[in-house]
Amino acid sequence: MKNILVVGGAGYIGSHVVKMLAVQGYNPVVYDNLSKGHREAVQGHPFELGDLGDKARLAEVFKKYAIEAVMHFAAFIEVGESVQDPSKYYHNNVAKVLNLLDAMHENAVHYFVFSSTAATFGEPVHPKIDENHPQKPINPYGNTKLMVEKILEDFDTAYGLKSVALRYFNASGADDSGEIGESHTPETHLIPLVLQAAAGKRPCIRVFGTDYPTPDGTCVRDYVHVNDLARAHILALEKMAQENQSLRYNLGSGNGQSVAELIAQAKEVTGVDFKVEYKGRRAGDPAVLVADSAKAARELGWKPQYDLKQIIQTAWNWEQHRRY
């Protein structure tokens, strides 16, 4: 199996997976409508401009490259926007994925790697979230991802389409080369927002909530480097194909870092004492979200290689020399 269609491969996580696939001897083909992605992130790999809503275009690409497996990274991901405009999210994150799965079925492609999310779990009921944790999303974004997971189960039963759903926590960092990195418009992720404050691109970083039941009162999250995630995608693809079975994994470092700890680490890495403003809590922010990735370690041999300092260092290098 060599020819991998990477849908959303011009985006943040997708572009890092594309680069690693090529390094490991695969032939990644990027399919992206560039509504969120960046042409520069494709870095010379085969690129096909197209939308998942265009069935004819999908069929053309499947035949042109003799696609053998698909990876999906083409979701809208902003939780707040999903609450304000759920229709946009259900159309893009669910209906268009059905188009893709139908195209796979029609072209006898049986392996699918799905970029899912910890948002499918909702409010945590255990200190660390493993694959058996109840899935009760609290926003439309999480609902869309869980719906696709359910659809994939039905496609496996009915059509034999095997899938991996990778539920990752806070994707972060950038490639060590500095050639690709995180670039969202608008930016909503904490590490790039913090580093933009350090770079003088924002007047300050705002911290929402200092009275959570955590050691320093700020939210605790699990940050995992984008290259660690990319490696997990390839390991999971290979295991799924070797065993011809559907799989589900939670991906995180297993170590929670508070917002205050992250800011302190960012100040150390950048050498900038940027301004921090403290605000009240935001609705829907759990105090602690940390992954239990023991299953991925056990079954895939996957273990994150980047710690928080290295994550911030790679992201800072990208922020200072970003190319798009």
The pairs formed by 122-130 with CB atoms below 8 angstroms and a separation of 24 or more are 123/286, 124/286, 124/288, 124/289, 126/292, 127/288, 127/290, 128/254, 128/290, 128/291, 128/292, 129/250, 129/289, 129/290, 129/291, 129/292, 130/250, 130/291, 130/292, 130/294, 130/295
Long-range contacts of 119-125 (CB under 8 A, 24+ apart): 119/79, 119/145, 120/145, 120/146, 120/149, 120/167, 121/167, 123/286, 124/286, 124/288, 124/289
Q: For residue 51, what are its two tokens?
A: 């939308």
Residue of 12, 26, 111, 141 marked catalytic: 141
CA 286 to chain centre: 19
31 is catalytic: no
Write the DSSP assignment of 28-58 as a string of letters. EEEEE--SSS-GGGGTTS-EEE--TT-HHHH
Q: Which residues are catalytic?
A: 141
